[in-house]
Chains A and B, each alone.
Chain A
Amino acid sequence: MSILTTGFGKAGRAWTWFTREFLKVTLLRVAFVALILIATSSWIKVRTQTYFSAMTMPPSFRHVDVIHREAFLLEYLRAHNLDENTVVVFGDCVTFGHGVKRSYTDYLEIPGKRVVNVSMQSFQVNLMSVALDYAIKQGVTDFIVQLHPFENYPAEQGSWTSITRSNPTNSGTDPESDLDYLKQSRVNWRVQSVAQNPKLYQIGLFEVRKPWIEFSQYLRYDFLSKLKIFATRYAFDDWSGLDKTYYSYRTFRRDNFKKQLPTERQISIIEKKPAFWRYFIVKDKEEFVKLANYASVPKRLATILNDKGLKGVFIMVPTFTKVMAEYSDLSVKDMQTSAEIYGNIVRAENQKYINLLEDPELTAHMYHYDNLTIEGQKLMGKKLSGMLAEEFK
């Protein structure tokens, strides 16, 4: 060292201090470092626990970076201490609340049971499987699953079968994809979240964050967000007297009412494309039933619950079908058919099915697709409390 330190004045003395004092490994120093690190990580753990246990529903997954969703979900579940007296509720937007601060699960009372809301906000079967796997390991036997009647036949076909590997929402639905799906659900989710996150790429074991954003992505999300084009949507909450919402005006969703092309037009467009695109079209109801029985969210979850001898109640959410029919290319009959088919699938797997589609009391409290106001959520909680009082015993 002397050759480095000689003749460099203060810098030389700093170097001497660095090498002789700072880099010296002593037992006491190592002990202090270990103590500080243990204290810090314990404090972080307690802080995380407090943060997530204060929530009655998981964080807004749609706005969480894909790569963090699994970690957030597991932290949330750990904070809620699942056990055999817990009823876990899976769902998407209705269970999440969407626009209201508390969803129906807060008003759901089941004697002798504690309700834990694990809404995915957007229906993500892979992520849901991670939660299901964790819950089963904690001894949970009772589950409530909220379902949707949505999606038209071509879209169902696209999202359920052909694009299953690349679609994070439904990729876990193919029953023949692997033998013990739940066991590797975390790995599946991990691989997919990296694959679909435009900000991340993978080098070997490392996930690397791109320090830039593609221009189109910037244009679509960041630039348009700045213009507040969609911000007016959740002003609705203010008018309806809700002082607090999960959606601030900054975190509005981007998928709003959109008039889709009629089904015939969609099909005619697809038919002009190369032949393999025709595979995406479902011809009729029979084919739809066949597909739904082969690969669908209700089928997958009901099969798992039935195979493991667990209890599941599947709830079809209320929907104001007439408004849906007006603003999309879904017909009222499509939605009713969809609800009926899911019911058959679920019942075939010995699970209970409650159909609240077009429930007159609840649909009176709707304001967007299938979203309920706070009064609607209260009513739904009360209604289900009555229906499920004898169910989980």
Chain B
Amino acid sequence: MMNAPLKYVTKELFMGVIWAFLILLLIFAPGLWAEAVDFVYANF
């Protein structure tokens, strides 16, 4: 299978992607919430 360093880098990359996703989610949360509210008021 994978050797140890490659396994380590892959794991860190995987964690990095999740971290970045959560950070972006945190940054865009107010905007996404606002869009959601707009969408609800515009369509329902």
- The DSSP consensus for interface residues of chain B is helix
Is A26 interfacial (CB 8 A cutoff)?
yes
Do A33 and B16 form a contact, CB below 8 Å, given A28-B9, A40-B24? Answer: yes
What is the CA–CA distance of A36 and B17 in the complex, to the nearest angstrom?
7
Asked if B15 and A21 make an inter-chain contact with CB atoms under 8 angstroms apart, the answer reads yes
CB distance from B2 to the nearest CB of A (A): 16
Q: Give per-residue flags for A1-43: 1 if the beta carbon is below 8 A from chain B beta carbons, else 0.
A: 0000000000000000000011000101101110111001000
Is A137 interfacial (CB 8 A cutoff)?
no
Asked if A36 and B16 make an inter-chain contact with CB atoms under 8 angstroms apart, the answer reads yes
A interface residue count range (under 10 / 10 to 19 / 20 to 34 / 35 or more): 10 to 19
Asked if A29 and B12 make an inter-chain contact with CB atoms under 8 angstroms apart, the answer reads yes
What is the CA–CA distance of A35 and B20 in the complex, to the nearest angstrom?
9
Chain B positions within 8 Å of A31 at CB level: 16
Chain B positions within 8 Å of A22 at CB level: 15, 18
Q: Give per-residue flags for A208-249: 1 if the beta carbon is below 8 A from chain B beta carbons, else 0.
A: 010101000010001000000000000000000000000000
Chain A positions within 8 Å of B24 at CB level: 37, 40
Do A209 and B37 form a contact, CB below 8 Å, given A28-B9, A36-B20, A222-B42? Answer: yes
- Chain B residues bordering chain A, tally (CB within 8 A): 18
What is the CA–CA distance of A29 and B14 in the complex, to the nearest angstrom?
9
CB distance from A352 to the nearest CB of B (A): 43
Chain A positions within 8 Å of B15 at CB level: 21-22, 29, 32
Instruction: Give residues 1-44 of B contacting A (CB, 8 Å).
Output: 8-9, 12-13, 15-20, 23-24, 30, 33-34, 37, 41-42
CB distance from B13 to the nearest CB of A (A): 5
CB distance from B40 to the nearest CB of A (A): 9
Chain B positions within 8 Å of A33 at CB level: 16, 19-20, 23
Chain A positions within 8 Å of B9 at CB level: 28
Chain B positions within 8 Å of A40 at CB level: 20, 24
From A21, A26, A37, A218, B20 is in contact (CB under 8 Å) with: A37
Q: Give per-residue flags for A35-74: 1 if the beta carbon is below 8 A from chain B beta carbons, else 0.
A: 1110010000000000000000000000000000000000
CB distance from A251 to the nearest CB of B (A): 12
What is the CA–CA distance of A393 and B20 in the complex, to the nearest angstrom?
51
Closest to A67 in B: B34
Asked if B41 and A29 make an inter-chain contact with CB atoms under 8 angstroms apart, the answer reads no
Asked if B37 and A211 make an inter-chain contact with CB atoms under 8 angstroms apart, the answer reads yes
Pick the most buried of B9, B16, B23, B34: most chain A CB atoms within 10 A of its CB: B16
Asked if B19 and A29 make an inter-chain contact with CB atoms under 8 angstroms apart, the answer reads yes
Chain B positions within 8 Å of A35 at CB level: 16
Do A213 and B41 form a contact, CB below 8 Å, given A28-B9, A32-B13? Answer: yes
CB distance from B15 to the nearest CB of A (A): 5
From B13, B23, B37, B41, A222 is in contact (CB under 8 Å) with: B41
16 contacts between A and B (CB under 8 A): A22-B15, A26-B12, A28-B9, A28-B16, A29-B12, A29-B15, A33-B19, A35-B16, A36-B17, A37-B24, A40-B20, A40-B24, A209-B33, A209-B34, A211-B37, A222-B42
Interface on A for B, CB 8 Å cutoff? 21-22, 26, 28-29, 31-33, 35-37, 40, 209, 211, 213, 218, 222
Known: A28-B16, A32-B20, A36-B17. 20 other contacts (CB 8 A): A21-B15, A22-B18, A28-B8, A28-B9, A28-B12, A29-B15, A29-B16, A32-B17, A32-B19, A33-B19, A33-B23, A37-B20, A37-B23, A37-B24, A40-B20, A40-B24, A209-B30, A209-B33, A209-B37, A213-B41
